[in-house]
Chain A
Amino acid sequence: MNRVNDRSRDIGPFVPAGDDDMVICRCEEITKGEIRKAVHEGMYTITELRRYLRCGMGLCQGQTCSRLVKGIVAKELKVSPAQLEPAAARAPMRPTEMRILGHEEGVCR
Chain B
Amino acid sequence: MKHTAEAVIIGGGIIGCASAYYLAKKGCSVIVLEGSDYIGNGGSSRNGGGVRQSGRDPREIPMVMWGIQNVWPTLSEELGVDVEYTQKGNLRLGKTPAHLKILEGLTERAKACGLGVEMIDGDEVRKINPYLSEEVIGASFCPTDGHANPLTATLGYYKRARELGVRFITGEKVLKLLTVKGKIRKVVTENNTYEGEKVLVAAGYESRKITESVGIDIPMQKVKLTCLVTEAQPFMFEQMLGTAEADFYGHQSSHGSFVFGGSTGLEPCEKDNGHGISQSGSASCICRGIMKYFPALKDAKIVREWSGFIDECADKVPVISPVEEVPGLYLACGFTGHGFGIAPGAGVNIAEMMTEGNFTVDNMEDFRYDRFKAKI
Contacts and interface: CB of A to CB of B under 8 A. Distances in A.
A97 B155 contact: no
Contacts, number: 136
B297 A52 contact: no
B36 to A, nearest CB: 7
Contacts of A6: 1, 167-169
Chain B: interface residue count, which band? 35 or more
Interface stretch (B112-120, B197-205, B279-287, B362-370): B279-287
Contact of A108 (B162, B282, B297): B282
A18 B269 CA distance: 55
B141 to A, nearest CB: 26
B159 interface: yes
B346 to A, nearest CB: 21
A92 interface: yes
Interface string A22-43: 0000000000000000000111
Chain A: interface residue count, which band? 35 or more
Contacts of B290: 98, 102
Interface string A71-107: 0000000000000010010111001111101111011
B281 A98 contact: no
A109 B167 contact: no
B283 A2 contact: no
Given A7-B169, A96-B302, A108-B282, A102 B288 contact: yes
Interface of A: 1-8, 41-43, 45, 47-48, 51-52, 54, 57-59, 61, 85, 88, 90-92, 95-99, 101-104, 106-109
Interface of B: 1, 35-41, 45, 81, 151-152, 154-155, 158-159, 162, 167-173, 190-192, 230-231, 255, 264, 266, 270-271, 278-285, 287-288, 290-291, 297-306
9 contacts: A2-B190, A6-B168, A8-B162, A42-B162, A48-B40, A52-B151, A98-B298, A108-B281, A109-B279
